[in-house]
Amino acid sequence: MRKAARRIDSLARKALVASTWHRRSLSISSLRHQRLASSAATDFASSPSAPLSTTKPSLGSAKADRVPLSDSEGPLSAEDVAINHYAHFNPTPMSIKQFLDFGKSLSTNGKEFCAQSSFEFLRTELPVRLANIMKEIQLLPQNLQSQPSTKIVQHWYRQSFLDVIKYADADPHERKVVAKFTEDLAKIRNRHTLVVETMAQGVIELRKALLDEGKPVMDSATRMSIQYFLDRFYMMRISIRMLITQHTMLFGNELPFSARHIGTIDPECDIQAVIEDAYTNARALCETNYEKYPELRLQCINTVEEGVPAKMVYVPSHLFHISFELFKNAMRAVCERSTEPLGIADAHLPPIDVVIVKTAEDVTIKMSDFGGGIPQSNMPKLFDYMFSTAPTPLGGEVEPGQNVPAMAGYGYGLPLSRLYARYFHGDLQVYSVHGYGTDALIYLKTLSDSASELLPVFNKSVMKQYRAQRTHGWSSSTSKFGQLVEWG
C-alpha cells in the first residue's frame, strides 16, 4: 500500500515537473488541509481565497478525505497519475466581484503583471477542475462510458488536461509562454464547443443501445446516476468556460462586447435590455415554427433607485441563455395550446408577462404564460435531462461528434438554464397551474460578492452517490443546493 503511494507520488512529481512555487503552494494547501480535517467532515470546500489577487496563487484546498482514485489494480499511466494528483484538490470558487476586481486591477497593476497572475492561477485551477470532473466521468455506468460520443468527450477532456499541465513548470515571466498559454486556452474552448450536444448524443446512443437489447425503459439507478452526473458535468463546464473566456478576453485578441465589459461580465448589465433581446430572438424562432407568436408585456421595478433601469453586475450571456430558453418554452406552450380543440383563438394569443424586480439583495424575474401549464405528474421530471414532451430525436443517424442534432426535444432547456442561474448562487423555479399557465422565476444575487461560483467537488461521498444516488458534493460557501440533486 505504502509502496503504491510512493510510486504514485514519484510519478506525480515526474508528470508535473513541480516548480518551486508549485511545491510551496502544495505545502500551503496541506496546512489548510490539516485545519479542514480537524473541522467537521464536509463535502464542501472552504470559502474562496483570493486567487486572482496580486498575491501569488495557490492550489485549492486539499481534500479532507483522500479519495481512493482508482479501481484499477494495474500500473497507472503518467497521465492518470497526474489526473489523480489534481483531483485531490478542491476547485477554488470565485465570486463575480473577484472576477471584476481582477479585471479592474489591470489599469493599476499593468496588463503584463496581471496576465502572469492569471496564468499562474489557471495553470493549476483548470487542471483541478478538469481532473475533478474527469474522475466522475469514470464513475458513469459502463454502458454509457462505452458509447462512441461519451468516448469522444472523454478524449477531449484528457487532451485539454494535458494541454494545460504542460505549463506546470513554465516561467510566468516569459511573455511568450503566457501568450502561447492564452492561445492554447482559446483552442481548448473551441475543442469543447460541442460538449453539451455530444454528451447528450452519448445518452441517446445509450437509450438506442438499450432499445436494441429489448429494454425500452432505462433502469432508475442508471437514469439517476446520469442526471446527477450531467448536472455536475455541465456546471463544471460552465465554470471552466468562464475562467478561460475571462482570461482570453483580458489578455488575448478577443474583444469584449463593449469597453465597459470586464471580459464577459457587464458591471452595468441592463436586465430589461437582455430580456427584450432574448424575447426578440425567441419570437423569430417561434414565428418560423408556428407562423405566430405571443406579444411581450414587461414591467420593471427598481426598489433601490426608483425610475432608474434595473442594472446589476452579471454575465449578460448567461441571463440571455436562461430567458431565451424560458421564452421558447412559454411560446411553444401558448402556440400549441391555441391549436388544441378548446384552445385560444389564434387572433387572441395571450401575451407573456415578465416582471423584473430589483432590491438591495435580489433580482427576481418572473415570466408568466397562459399556455395551459404543466400537469403535476410531470413536475418532478421538469429538470430531468431526459424529459421533454417534444418529439424525441431518437434514432437519428448521426456520426458521433459531428453534425450533432439540434437541441429541441432533448429536454435540456430547463436543466441547463437552472445551472446557469445557480452558477453564481441564483436559482430557477417553475410553478404551474395546470389548465391555465406557467410561472418561471429566475433569482439572481444583486451583490456581486455574494455571487460566488457553485462548483461540484469530487470526493468519497460523491463516489458513493454514483453507487447509491444520495449525497451533497458541491464546492460553495453555502450548501443550499446540496440536497437539490438528491432523488427520493
Ligand X SMILES: Nc1ncnc2c1ncn2[C@@H]1O[C@H](COP(=O)(O)OP(=O)(O)OP(=O)(O)O)[C@@H](O)[C@H]1O
Contacting Mg ion within 323-342 (CB under 5 A): 329
CB of 318 to ligand X, least distance (A): 16
Contacting ligand X within 362-401 (CB under 6 A): 369, 371, 374, 382, 387-390
Number of Cβ within 10 Å of residue 35's Cβ equals 11
**Short-list 361, 319, 364, 355, CA closest to 446:** 361
Pick one of 413, 415, 426, 456: the residue that binds Mg ion (CB under 5 A).
413
Which does residue 365 touch among ligand X, Mg ion, none (CB within 5 to 8 A, set by kind)? none
Pick one of 229, 410, 420, 423: the residue that binds ligand X (CB under 6 A).
410
- Residue in the shown chain whose Cβ atom is closest to ligand X: 413
C-alpha cell at 81: 497519475
Which does residue 387 touch among Mg ion, ligand X, none (CB within 5 to 8 A, set by kind)? ligand X
Measured CA to CA, the distance from residue 179 to residue 147 in angstroms comes to 37
CB of 439 to ligand X, least distance (A): 9
Three-state secondary structure call for residue 443: strand
In this complex, which beta carbon is closest to Mg ion, that of residue 109 or of residue 389?
A: 389
CB of 271 to ligand X, least distance (A): 20
Torsion region of 197: left, alpha or beta (phi above 0 gives left; psi -120 to 50 gives alpha): alpha
In this complex, which beta carbon is closest to ligand X, that of residue 130 or of residue 374?
A: 374
231 forms part of the interface with ligand X (CB under 6 A): no
Contacting Mg ion within 83-112 (CB under 5 A): none
CB 308 within 8 A of CB 261: no
Which does residue 382 touch among Mg ion, ligand X, none (CB within 5 to 8 A, set by kind)? ligand X
**Short-list 286, 295, 362, 351, CA closest to 325:** 286
264 φ, ψ (degrees, to nearest 5): -90, -5
Which string of b and e fits 5-34 if b means at least 16 CB within 10 Å?
eeebeebbeebbebbeebeebbebbeebbe
CB of 293 to Mg ion, least distance (A): 16
Q: Please report, as a single letter, which amino acid is at residue 411.
A: G
Q: Which residues are catalytic?
A: 321, 325, 328-329
Q: What is the DSSP letter of 89?
A: B
In this complex, which beta carbon is closest to ligand X, that of residue 320 or of residue 387?
A: 387
Pick one of 413, 426, 456, 473: the residue that binds ligand X (CB under 6 A).
413
CB 17 within 8 A of CB 166: no
CB of 409 to ligand X, least distance (A): 5
Question: Which residues contact ligand X by CB under 6 A?
Answer: 325, 329-330, 333, 369, 371, 374, 382, 387-390, 407-414, 438
